[in-house]
Chains A and B, each alone.
Chain A
Amino acid sequence: MAAYLLRKLRDTIFTLLLVSVIVFIIFALIPGNPARIIAGVNATPEKVAFIEAELGLDQPLPIRFINYLGGLLTGNPGQSLRFNVPVTDLIVDAAPITLGLAFYAFFMVILLAIPLGLIASRRPGGVVDTVIHVVTETTLAIPPFFMAIVLMLLFRVTQADVGGSLSSGEILTFGDHLKMLTLPALAIALSRLAMVVEFLRDALVEESHTDYVRTAKGKGASRMRIRMVHVLRNCLVPTITALGLILAEIIGGSIIIEQVFLLPGLGRLLFTAVEARDFPLVQTIIMLIAVLVVLVNFVVDLLNQFIDPRLRVVQSHSRRHRKYQPTVAAAKKKGNS
């Protein structure tokens, strides 16, 4: 287990490093001189040089990368060019709304997917199963923002009802959040539901043919008990994996949905930053989200290990197997010679 944890940790750190390299390289590719773009068309050469020095653009690339990484790690990734305040301040103000929305949507996916999966798997290939399959497949084809528009039309809700009056950094109570974010979260959850339902349903169908289910039936356990206590637990791993896979999409979805409902979250901030070509801000927000996704996936992996001890066994077996292979080959060689 410890070895697995270490290996996973190494992979995660390596992935994070790669993410930062990718984001950094894209920004290094900015055509022309970014300092000139920021300074504007009529800027004097002195001003351009000043901005260049300010951004550290006069340094060679590797040094710029190290500075940038250092800034991220120490929590000081720079100043926003548009708002002229530290990037972190802006993000701290905006993040709760986006993360709250994503978390709420995530929760809704779980809340909707488990009952749907359970119902669909009761009779695989039956009418209910088919209907659930077709409906979730259709919702998958509806882009989240269109889903939001349809929901707004259905419930007669306008933008002003949700986030129109809200300003960034406002402190909200839990109740306010719930009231405001339900519709946006529903829009995201509905369009991302399909995969989780499918994974869960397939796992449930497969598990219900296993020996332990037969044994439980033989012992007289009720159908309900078998499904809720025995089978569902064993289906958690694929479900959690699916949840991890849709996480990036849910966060991406929140960023779009914020624009639909005029919520002042990270999406709005990012949008403003892109329009204003505020590179440090864009860079930091994207890094933040990517780091979040990588870390959650790391947790998902650990969680799966924790829930299903069988995964641990398989892991250690395969490792041992790999370790022994050279020895076996060497022994064979010895025998031959």
Chain B
Amino acid sequence: MRHPRRQSLQVAQQKRIRYTAKKDPRRMAKRSLVTGLILLAVPILLFVVATFFVPFEPTAMNPSDRFLAPNSINWFGTDNYGRDIFVRTMAGLPLTVLIAGGTVLIGGLGGLFLGGLAGYYGRRVDYFISRFNDALLSIPAILTGMLFVAVFGNGIWQVTIALGLMFIPSFARVVRSGFQEHRHRDYVKRLRLLGSSGWRIMTLHLFPQIRSRLLSAIAIGFANAILAESSLSFLGLGVPPSSISWGRMLKDAQGFLFQAPWYALFPGVLIVLLVLGAFFIGNGLKRIER
């Protein structure tokens, strides 16, 4: 029989482990993913409703209906020109998704290339690429956005490219650490001995290893891209004035903050929903990978 005191210590230890150990990681991951999908489903559903079932036009002005509070006809109320905020907000969704998607695409491809080189070849290549990443990271994304707008003018492409470049380091970091982990493994050494080129090893053998990690980085990058784009548009430096963007709506709404708080709140809440949804999905994917 075990010593009683020792047994109690073991029980205590088990108890502590029960307190500390995270719950089943797969279940946590699933929960995170489902939460994210639900959060993303809300804007998408609202978008479908707004485009197909609500009779208002996003640009239709109606001076007699200025600053209506949210009601059964204008669900999110109306703005200073009497435009329906619900329809306007939803009309801004595709552009937001497009810019964030483009940003992630540029950042992801750039990051894959640079991070891959740094992680696979290491040494001097790694050193120079890492310093380059440090340099990019030291300029706040919003400033690069402003820089590009200053140089190339307002526009959807300028914003997407500027943000895409700024997102390279974050992807490069993920790819680099993944490649570094694998490059000294036996199977990679064997491939090298068999005469596989670096390119072949990277694309066919190393890339699949980091695919899931990259997916989670993409989800989180998507969220951050939405944040960055809305910040730029909020400053009036993002998308051109003719297109509808949530950041720009918030900028316009700021002048009527106390007169019509709903004008600012709804676009803002939608940004948060979308970003939070992408965050949850990113975290869920990260947990699955572990």
Contacts and interface: CB of A to CB of B under 8 A. Distances in A.
A286 B138 contact: no
Q: What 10 pairs between A and B have smallest CB-CB spacing? A: A252-B140, A18-B135, A141-B276, A141-B275, A146-B268, A293-B138, A274-B150, A252-B142, A19-B135, A15-B134
Contact of A255 (B143, B152, B268): B143
A140 interface: yes
Contact of A289 (B134, B137, B139, B149): B139
B237 interface: yes
Contacts of A158: 257-258
Interface of A: 11, 14-16, 18-19, 22-23, 26-27, 29-31, 123-126, 137-138, 140-146, 149-150, 152-153, 156, 158-159, 205, 209, 248-249, 251-252, 255-256, 259-260, 270-271, 273-274, 277, 279, 282, 286, 289-291, 293-294, 297
Nearest to A18: B135
A211 B223 CA distance: 40
B223 A141 contact: yes
Contacts, number: 150
B250 A255 contact: no
A256 B142 contact: yes
15 contacts: A22-B135, A125-B22, A125-B23, A137-B276, A138-B272, A140-B279, A141-B276, A143-B275, A145-B250, A248-B139, A259-B234, A270-B143, A271-B235, A290-B143, A293-B137
A15 B250 contact: no
Nearest to A251: B140
Contacts of A273: 150
A123 B20 CA distance: 7
Given A141-B275, A146-B272, A294-B134, A289 B150 contact: no
Per DSSP, are chain A's interface residues mostly helix, strand or loop, or mixed? Answer: helix
Interface string B255-290: 001100100110010011001100100000000000
A152 B276 CA distance: 22
Interface of B: 19-23, 131-132, 134-143, 146-152, 223, 227, 230-231, 234-235, 237, 247, 250, 253-254, 257-258, 261, 264-265, 268, 271-272, 275-276, 279
Nearest to A294: B138
Chain B facing A: main interface SS: helix
Given A125-B19, A125-B20, A256 B132 contact: no
Given A146-B230, A291-B138, 13 more contacts: A16-B135, A22-B136, A123-B19, A143-B231, A143-B234, A146-B272, A149-B254, A153-B258, A255-B142, A255-B143, A256-B142, A279-B151, A289-B139
A282 B137 contact: no
B149 A274 contact: yes
Contacts of A11: 131, 134
B231 A290 contact: no
A124 B19 contact: yes
Contacts of B149: 274
Given A271-B235, A274-B146, A153 B257 contact: yes
Contacts of B142: 252, 255-256
A14 B143 CA distance: 21
A205 B132 CA distance: 34
Nearest to B132: A18
